[in-house]
Amino acid sequence: MGGGTSSDHPDLDGAFRRLPAGAGTHHDLCWHRGIAAAIAGWALKIETVRVFALYWMAVCLVVITGAFFLVRRQALKNSENFWSPPTRRVAQAMFPALLIGSVAGLVMASWFTQLDAGLGSTFVSIYLILFWILLYGLALLAAGFFMPRGVRLFGWGFLVAGLILLGWMLTQSFLNVAAVYLPHLLMGVIFGGSHLAYGIYLYFTEPRKNET
């Protein structure tokens, strides 16, 4: 069968092990930055769609850049090839969904330049968040074909979270609680909180796998 999982390609396990880097360095970076960025975005009153989209894409860029250097440093420390075929395969699998998410953010930032802060901007920003959540879930699922099962479950978690958010957006209760701080809260909880949870999962599961 084409593709396969990490169990079909043992060399992929080495590439994946560098991503957590001990107790989940990559996920530690994501949840730290995600929650901190959510608090900062609320405190700085980043409320218009344009600034919100550009702000969170900048946060994403910082996280990806930081993760890149951490993984590269771990690879060099272990005397491994960083940009190995397994690593390229995972990057190529995630790239299309991440590219679409980036383009969507830039489009929203350019379309809604005149939309002032308020409930209108809040709703548009949340629709953008929904799009990002679903695309990130698809990116993880695509990468999960070449990585351990936990990554695929993590991807499914984002898809379920996106569908739950979509269902909530169609209810009256969503209209009752929608406020200018809600987009940052959602980004902090869904992206920051989920990586915290997955980092805890790796902390308890990785040693057991390494012992076997």
- Say if 6 falls within a structural domain: no
The residues, ordered by sequence, that sit 6+ positions from 46 with a Cβ below 8 Å of its Cβ are 52, 55, 184
Q: Residue 3 above 80 pLDDT? A: no
Average pLDDT rounded to a whole number, residues 83-104:
88
Of 117 and 154, the structure prediction assigns the larger pLDDT to: 154
Please report the pLDDT score of residue 172 as a whole number.
Answer: 79
- Say if 2 falls within a structural domain: no
| CA atoms in the 13 A half-sphere facing the CB of 166 | 12
- Say if 175 falls within a structural domain: yes
Please report the pLDDT score of residue 165 as a whole number.
Answer: 93
Q: Alpha-carbon distance 15 to 28, whole Å?
A: 18
- Say if 101 falls within a structural domain: yes
Average pLDDT rounded to a whole number, residues 17-33:
52
Residue 182: name the closest of 194, 197, 169 by CA.
169
36: tokens are 């901190």
Please report the pLDDT score of residue 126 as a whole number.
Answer: 92
Give the structural domain span for 20.
Answer: 12-211
Average pLDDT rounded to a whole number, residues 114-118:
68
Of 23-27, 65-69, 108-112, where does mean pLDDT reach its minimum? 23-27
- Say if 30 falls within a structural domain: yes
The identity of residue 42, as a single letter, is W
Residue 57: name the closest of 19, 24, 105, 18 by CA.
105
Provide the domain count of the chain.
1
Of 27-41, 85-99, 170-184, where does mean pLDDT reach its minimum? 27-41
Residue spans of alpha helices (H) in the chain: 11-18, 25-43, 49-77, 85-111, 119-144, 149-169, 172-177, 182-186, 194-211
- Say if 5 falls within a structural domain: no
Average pLDDT rounded to a whole number, residues 110-122:
76
- Say if 143 falls within a structural domain: yes
Q: Residue 9 above 80 pLDDT? A: no
- Say if 4 falls within a structural domain: no
